[in-house]
Structure formats: structure tokens, C-alpha cells
Amino acid sequence: NAGVTQTPKFQVLKTGQSMTLQCAQDMNHEYMSWYRQDPGMGLRLIHYSVGAGITDQGEVPNGYNVSRSTTEDFPLRLLSAAPSQTSVYFCASSGVRTGSPYEQYFGPGTRLTVT
Amino acid sequence: GQSLEQPSEVTAVEGAIVQINCTYQTSGFYGLSWYQQHDGGAPTFLSYNALDGLEETGRFSSFLSRSDSYGYLLLQELQMKDSASYFCAADTGRRALTFGSGTRLQVQP
């Protein structure tokens, strides 16, 4: 089991560029989420999904899009990068059938800098 | 809105006991989780309380009082490796969490 994987680990973008952060899990979890963590802060929910084909907005969704076409994958798209999106991005998953739904498994994170 | 308040920093010595408090205000509440995060790492799950009372897992215990909108994480027999940030997080029923801003624990020899 690889758990939750994220690519890339590091990324530098120029203002206005777009990109997709990849997230995949091999635990057959229904629930997946994207969070961002700014220095010295807690994690803030961007978007989440309760199953393939179903997504919803979290606390800070502006400037980001998601889709969930398979159970395994949950990519996060930055539409037009801004310096305010400089952050560490974490993907997480949890499941009802395969473990506690309250225990979220986090990927290693993507460190994004927008110049 | 949703908010979880916890102290920003706590310092303790090896072998001691430390308690990290968390008060919450959320619209909808199903339970309180605790996560540990070492510098540069990802959060890892420690515990979850859905019901009032104390849950014990080894050296770590977590407590919840729904009537007081309050919980705490208790760490016993502190070790240097426990130096990390600790986050409380509320489960508001979306299967995604609302996090507090974290408590940085420094364990001194």
C-alpha cells in the first residue's frame, strides 16, 4: 500500500500560470479532501469529495477546481496562480468500509511557490 | 462560521504531562479529532472523540465535553520526539475537517 501520494513535491509558478496538483490513494477510500497550510497556521479546507462524481466546496475554494472521476484520484487545479496561493497543499482520504471515517490519511504535501 | 481555539505554544520537560486545550464553535458537530505534525511533515491521526469522556491510546488521551464545546489532548511521559505541532479538528459531518491553528509543543530535556 502506497497510501496517499501527491505529485509534484515542489513547484514554482509564475503569476497567471495554471497547473494541476495530483493526488491518488490506493486504500479504496470514499472520502478525499484538499487542504492548504500557510506558515504557522492550521489547515484550511479547499474542496472535498464524498465519492466518485461528487465534489463540494470547503472554506477557501476560490481559484481552485477539482473533479473526481475515479475513486482513486482527486486532482486539484489552480486556474490562474496568484502569490496568495503560495502554500503547502495536502491531500487526505478516509473511508467508512476500510477503516475509521474520522481517521484521515494525509499525503506528503506539495510545496507551491507563486512568484 | 466555524472556529477552533487552542494555545499557540506550550513548553514542557521530558517525562512531564502536558494538556492542550481546544474550544470550538461550529455549525454542526459530530466529533473532535487530534492530529500531530512534525516540522516539514504531514499531519498524522492521534485520536477521535464522538462522545463525552476520555479516550486513552497509550501515552496519549483525549477528552471531549459537548456541553462545554471543549476538548483536550493529554500527553504523558513526554519524550523529545513529541516535540511537534498538535491540531484539534472538528468533524462537522462533511467527512472533511475544520482545523484549529495548532499548538506548538516544545519538549525540553
Mapping DSSP onto H, E and C, the string for A40-104 reads CCCEEEEEEEEECCEEEECCCCCCEEECCCCCCECCEEECCCCHHHCEEEEEEEECCCCCCCCCC
What is the per-residue pLDDT for B81?
Answer: 97
Interval B61-86 mean pLDDT? 97
Flag whether pLDDT at B95 surpasses 80: no
What is the per-residue pLDDT for A98?
Answer: 56
What the block records as the C-alpha cell of A16 is: 497567471
Is residue B5 within 8 angstroms of chain A, CB to CB? Answer: no
What the block records as the C-alpha cell of A81 is: 496562480
* Nearest CB partner across the interface for B42, out of A33, A59, A90: A90
pLDDT beneath 50: ranges in chain A? none
Is the pLDDT higher at A18 or at B28?
A18
B9 — pLDDT class (breaks 50, 70, 90):
very high
Interval B55-77 mean pLDDT? 96
Q: How far is CA B55 from CA B60, B74, B97, in A?
A: 9, 10, 20
Residue of B8, B97, B101, B103 to mutate, interface with A, max A Cβ within 10 Å: B97
B2 contact residues in A (CB cutoff 8 A): 59
